[in-house]
Amino acid sequence: MQGQAVDRGPPSADIEVQNLSFHPAGTPPEAPLLTDVSLKVPAKQMGLVYGRSGAGKTTLLQLIAGLTQPTTGRIAVIEHAVTSSERLARIGLVFQFPERHFLAATLQQELAFAWPQDMVSLQQLSSRAGVVLDALGLDHIPLDTPLRQLSDGYKRRCALACALWCRPSVLLLDEPLAGLDWQSRADIASVLGKLKQECTVLVVSHDLRELEPLIDVAWEMEAGGKLKSVQWPPAQ
d(CA 141, CA 124): 20
The pTM assigned to this predicted structure is: 0.84
Instruction: Kindly report the backbone phi and psi dihedral angles of residue 199, in degrees, each rounded to the nearest multiple of 5, phi listed first.
Output: -150, 165
Ordered DSSP codes for 46-66 = EEEEEESTTSSHHHHHHHHHT
> Which 3 state secondary structure label does DSSP give 3?
coil
d(CA 51, CA 161): 27
pLDDT at 2: 46
User: In a structure prediction context, what are the per-residue pLDDT tens digits for the chain, which is 236 residues long?
Assistant: 445 555 555 556 789 999 999 998 887 777 888 999 999 999 999 999 999 888 899 999 999 998 889 999 999 886 455 555 565 667 888 988 787 788 899 988 888 887 766 555 656 666 777 778 887 888 899 989 999 999 888 888 888 888 887 778 899 999 998 878 888 888 888 888 888 877 899 999 988 888 999 999 999 999 888 999 998 887 76
Instruction: Kindly report the backbone phi and psi dihedral angles of residue 17, in degrees, each rounded to the nearest multiple of 5, phi listed first.
Output: -120, 130
User: Domain 15-230 classified CATH 3.10.20.340?
Assistant: no
d(CA 154, CA 136): 9
Q: Are strands 80-81 and 91-94 parallel, antiparallel or unpaired?
A: unpaired
